[in-house]
């Protein structure tokens, strides 16, 4: 699969995932319950894919330890910090812009670590996409927050997810296939989430049909996000370009949230979305 197709599928999956998260938060579902759904479904899906394609799930213990350190710990930390930031931010889009702004970080890091391409043209286009996304997400609001902890949480999430992306090419380079890798990441993160839920004595309670529906949507969309993001990062000339596309999904998400929850869409936001779309086309097809 080409990195362009994988990136587009990641883009759609990302928007669907965060819309499902937002809906569950509106329904007052605890972030730990959301995190459980976040990893139960992908664990089952990637187990099934691995078995159906004849890919071995048995990995050397040192590889599993590396997965635990390089992906699982960052994954769990980034996910929890990201959800907390979205909950406390005056607009969830503000948080997502920061969380997904690791494109510049990974652009340079990938060039240093892997010798990846870092053309000036694509670097500038990636920066332009991030700029447009920030215009869409960050707007004046009459609401206030008592704390700015959400910014710190978002920054922790940003560096965590950026570090995860940087490990993608490494694992591919040593021959670890995508589905088994994602199975172990999701399984180990799920175990950590269950342990944390028991520690705080989380009471899940009865799951309504509506909540169950959105959890399934969340599980399917996050599985697509993980899979296509990894595929794009491995195939792309620089995984920072993939991060920029992922960041661009934030703008579309913020606009959709505004529409779904009755907020207005200003001409400035609309112009930024158009600019972001042009940037994506230039990044993917030139």
Instruction: Tell me the C-alpha to C-alpha distance, in Å, between residue 167 and each of 47, 60, 130.
Output: 21, 17, 22
User: Per residue in 174-219, pLDDT tens?
Assistant: 999 999 999 999 999 899 888 888 887 777 777 889 999 999 999 9
State the Cα–Cα distance between residues 275 and 88, nearest whole angstrom: 29
Burial class (CB in 10 A: 0-12, 13-18, 19+), 104: middle
Selection from 261, 243, 251, 250 nearest residue 103 by Cα: 243
Q: Can you give the pTM of this predicted structure?
A: 0.79
Structure tokens at 12: 């759609």
State the Cα–Cα distance between residues 190 and 196, nearest whole angstrom: 10
Place of tokens 């590889």: 63
SS3 assignment, position 108: helix
pLDDT in tens, the chain (286 residues): 899 999 999 999 999 998 998 899 888 888 888 888 899 999 999 999 999 999 999 999 999 999 998 888 898 888 889 888 888 877 676 777 778 778 777 888 888 888 888 778 888 888 887 787 777 656 555 454 445 788 889 889 988 988 888 898 899 999 999 999 999 999 998 998 888 888 877 777 778 899 999 999 999 999 999 999 999 999 998 888 898 888 778 777 777 877 776 655 567 767 777 787 788 777 766 6
Question: First vs last Cα of the chain: how many Å apart?
Answer: 18
- Torsional sign, CA 11, 13, 19, 25: negative
Torsion of CA 54, 60, 64, 67, to 10 degrees: -80
Instruction: Tell me the C-alpha to C-alpha distance, in Å, between residue 81 and each of 98, 189, 213, 249.
Output: 12, 14, 25, 19
């Amino acid at each position: 699969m080409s990195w362009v197709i994988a990136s587009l599928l990641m883009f759609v999956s990302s928007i669907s995932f965060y819309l499902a998260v937002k809906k569950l938060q509106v329904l007052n579902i605890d972030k730990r319950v959301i995190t459980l759904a976040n990893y139960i479904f992908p664990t089952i899906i990637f187990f099934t894919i691995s078995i159906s394609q004849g890919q071995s799930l048995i990995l050397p213990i040192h590889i599993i330890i590396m997965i635990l350190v390089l992906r699982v710990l960052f994954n769990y930390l980034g996910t929890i910090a990201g959800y907390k930031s979205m909950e406390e931010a005056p607009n969830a889009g503000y948080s997502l812009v920061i969380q997904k702004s690791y494109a510049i970080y990974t652009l340079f890091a990938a060039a240093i670590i892997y010798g990846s391409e870092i053309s000036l043209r694509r670097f500038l286009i990636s920066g332009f996409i991030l700029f447009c996304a920030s215009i869409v997400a960050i707007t004046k609001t009459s609401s206030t927050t008592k704390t700015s902890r959400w910014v710190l949480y978002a920054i922790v999430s940003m560096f965590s997810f950026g570090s995860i992306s940087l490990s993608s090419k490494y694992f591919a380079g040593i021959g670890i296939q995508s589905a088994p890798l994602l199975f172990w990441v999701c399984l180990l993160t799920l175990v950590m989430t269950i342990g944390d839920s028991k520690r705080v004595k989380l009471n899940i309670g009865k799951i309504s049909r509506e909540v169950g529906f959105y959890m399934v949507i969340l599980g399917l969309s996050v599985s697509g996000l993980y899979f296509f993001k990894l595929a794009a990062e491995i195939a792309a000339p620089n995984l920072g370009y993939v991060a920029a596309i992922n960041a661009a999904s934030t703008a579309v998400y913020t606009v959709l949230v505004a529409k779904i929850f009755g907020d207005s869409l200003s001409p400035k936001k609309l112009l930024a979305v158009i600019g972001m779309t042009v940037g994506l086309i230039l990044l993917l097809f030139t």
